[in-house]
A and B are shown apart, each in its own frame.
Chain A
Amino acid sequence: MGDVSILKKGRKIVIDNQPWEVTDFDFCKPGKGQALYRCKLKNMMTGATMDRTFRSSDRIEQANMEECDCVYSYKSGDQYVFNDNDTYDEIFIKEQVLAGRHVYLNENDTCKILFFNQEPLEVTIPFFAELCVTETEPGVRGDTATNVTKAATLNNGIEVQVPLFVNQGDFIRVDTRTGQYVERSKKA
């Protein structure tokens, strides 16, 4: 257990055995009284948010978080296997930890895994993925008055809106955080 003075924006602490991140922080010290540490917190597992005010006499537990750099290797059943860059250990990550972004993973992608008490909590995958358009309507030249985008299916099965000039077989860049088209890829 530590002193409340470690509290600041971005700090990760444990409340009821769960990791919470301090998203906003205000140090208050009214008059001759004791200091108050007013925090907005976000549960790193559930996404729930709450406000909590700590006093200088409170004890708080800093979350035991570790981050490792790794590389995506392969899929094994419903788990995704990563290789730790330092130890070369294999780390098995369940699909739900990837929160839907498993569709963007390519072999050898550089990723970061955040652990809480040695359990994988969050995986940060590359922000952009290069994907191939497997199916889309041909763009009709001059049709910009009515539509500026059209639907396209990508090689990983997801559907995105793309500009009309994108054709089947083209490679495009997608933002993995939003699922949106970014630009045509340089890859042939």
Chain B
Amino acid sequence: MSTRAPGNTLSAAKKRNTPALRDLLHRAVRRFFVSRGFAEVSTPVRLTTPALEPHIDALHDGDAWLRTSPEFQLKRRVMCGAGKIFEIGPCYRAGEQGRLHNTKFTMLEWYETGADYRRLITFTNDLIREVVHEINGEPRFDYQGATIDCSGTADLMTVDNAFRHFAGTPSADAVQAGRFEELLAADIEPRLGRTRPMFLTDYPIEQAGFVKAHNDTPDVCERWELYIAGVELANAGSELTDAADYRQRFVAAAAARRALGRTEYPIDDEFLEVIAAGLPPHAGCALGLDRLLMLLADKVDIQAD
């Protein structure tokens, strides 16, 4: 029998009732953001052009595209002076279906003006701790026989250290050899966040998305990902601010998609116009709420409901 706090005796029943657990999760998340001065927003799901990324494919909906993330709509809001905003809503990624993937999934995404990726680590660590505490009565939860302790300060490891330690090769070499994803998935991810949430930081610039390069070491970028029990839960970074940088990344992504034979998406000229004067410094994070729900429900498959 458990000798932990009384709140924990409810957790077994909560785990079985996933819709009720989802309700608790969403409420806890909203409470956290509201308490930190964030405003909840709702941005368009149907877009004239989807986010231009090499490996993310959008679903076509008549003459529009379904969003793969709310990133560019939220950044428009940041441009218009929104200081702290968050959104919880559906996103759609074509061809993504599996144990941890659903074509349609629920994303929690937020942006904070004036913050950088380091500040977001503490913030996100606090988010996880407080949400778990609210749902489970204590800042820890059991997952597949192990206890995940969310009570401490953030656990960090750089991507390069993780590659050297778990895959036996520097991350730059893995990128060169075209084996970054393979080694990450096979050797590194399963080892991360087994007992405490783990933040994997400083990704190679080739994997930057729309995040800034490091000032001192431009071959890495100011990006991190959160792992719990080997599951990739969130992706965050110090975001690009200059329209020219965005255009450069869009062009590179378009070229990469062309080379891979993927559907071409138009460059979001409207977005570039909106941010022409430059975005304020800001940082953002995208978290897969369905995966967090899966972990809290002690399930191994995101489909299981």
Asked whether, in the complex, the Cβ of A29 is within 8 Å of the Cβ of B101, the reply is yes
Contacting B at CB under 8 A, from A29-86, are 29-36, 38, 53, 55-57
Residue numbers in B under 8 Å from A25 (CB-CB): 98
Would you call A108 an interface residue if the criterion is a C-beta within 8 Å of the partner chain's C-beta atoms? no
Q: In the complex, which residues of chain A have a beta carbon less than 8 angstroms from the beta carbon of B55?
A: 29, 32-35, 56
Is B45 an interface residue when CB atoms closer than 8 A count as contact?
no
A35 and B186 contacting across the interface, CB-CB below 8 Å: no
Indicate if the CB atoms of A32 and B53 lie closer than 8 Å. yes
> CB of A89 within 8 A of chain B?
no
Q: Known contacts A33-B55, A33-B180, A33-B207; decide if A28 and B96 are in contact (CB<8 Å).
A: no
- Alpha-carbon gap, A29 to B261, bound state (A): 18
A27 and B101 within 8 A (CB): yes
Q: Is B127 an interface residue (CB 8 A)?
A: no
B160 on the interface (CB 8 Å rule)? no
The 4 closest A-B pairs by CB, nearest first: A27-B98, A33-B181, A28-B185, A30-B184
- The answer, yes or no, to whether A109 is at the interface (CB within 8 Å) is no
A170 vs B38: C-alpha distance when bound (angstroms): 81
11 contacts between A and B (CB under 8 A): A27-B96, A27-B99, A28-B100, A30-B185, A32-B203, A33-B180, A33-B181, A34-B181, A36-B182, A38-B185, A53-B182
Asked if A124 lies at the interface with its beta carbon under 8 angstroms from chain B, I say no
Out of B98, B99, B209, which one reaches A32, CB within 8 Å? B209
Q: Are B225 and A31 in contact (CB under 8 A)?
A: yes
Docked complex: B111-154 residues within 8 A CB-CB of A = none
Interface bin, chain A: 10 to 19
Please name all residues of chain A whose beta carbon is closer than 8 Å to the beta carbon of B98 when the two chains form the complex. 25-28
B182-A26 in contact (CB<8A): no
| Residues of A in contact with B (beta carbons under 8 Å apart) | 5, 25-36, 38, 53, 55-57
CB neighbors of A among B211-251 (8 A): 225, 232, 235
Residue numbers in B under 8 Å from A36 (CB-CB): 181-182, 185
Residue interface bits B171-188, CB-to-A below 8 A is 1, else 0: 000000000111011100
Query: In the complex, A35→B95 CA distance in Å?
Result: 9
Interchain nearest-CB distance for A57 vs B (Å):
6
Interface size on B, as a range, is: 20 to 34
Cβ B181 vs Cβ A30 within 8 A: yes
Complex Cα distance A35/B185, Å? 10
Shortest Cβ distance from residue A128 to the other chain B in the assembled complex, whole angstroms: 35
Cα–Cα distance between A27 and B203 once the two chains are bound (Å): 22
Taking the closest CB of chain A, its distance from the CB of B203, in whole angstroms, is 7
B189 and A30 within 8 A (CB): yes
Chain B residues closer than 8 Å to A35, beta-carbon distance: 55, 95-96
Task: Please indicate which of the listed interface residues A25, A31, A34, A38 has the most CB atoms of chain B within 10 Å of its own CB.
Answer: A31
- The reply to whether the CB of B97 lies closer than 8 angstroms to some CB of chain A is yes
B304 at the interface (CB under 8 A from A): no
A25 to B260, CA, bound (A): 23
Do the beta carbons of B97 and A27 come within 8 Å of each other? yes
- A21, B29: Cα distance in complex, Å: 43
Additional A-B contact list (11), CB under 8 Å, known A32-B54, A33-B55: A26-B99, A27-B97, A28-B181, A29-B55, A32-B235, A33-B207, A35-B95, A35-B96, A36-B181, A56-B95, A56-B260
A31 vs B54: C-alpha distance when bound (angstroms): 12
Find chain A residues with CB under 8 A from B182 CB: 36, 53
- A56 contact set on B, CB distance < 8 A: 55, 95, 260
Could you tell me the distance in whole angstroms from the C-beta of A167 to the nearest C-beta in chain B? 52
Q: Which residues of B contact A32 (CB under 8 A)?
A: 53-56, 203, 207-209, 235
Q: How far is the CB of A85 from chain B (nearest CB, A)?
A: 36
Contacting residues, chain A, for B261 (C-beta < 8 A):
57
Cα(A152)–Cα(B232), bound, Å: 59
On whether A31 and B232 interact (CB within 8 A), knowing A36-B181, A53-B186, the answer reads: yes
Question: Is there contact, CB below 8 Å, between A30 and B96?
Answer: no
Nearest chain B CB to A177 CB, angstrom units? 30
Beta-carbon nearest neighbor of A57 in chain B: B260
Min Cβ gap B261→A in Å is 8
Q: Select from chain B the residue with minimum beta-carbon distance to A27.
A: B98
Asked if B184 and A33 make an inter-chain contact with CB atoms under 8 angstroms apart, the answer reads yes
Cα separation A56 to B261 with both chains bound (whole Å) = 10
Specify which of B180, B181, B184, B261 lies most central, judged by the most chain A CB atoms within 10 Å of its CB: B181
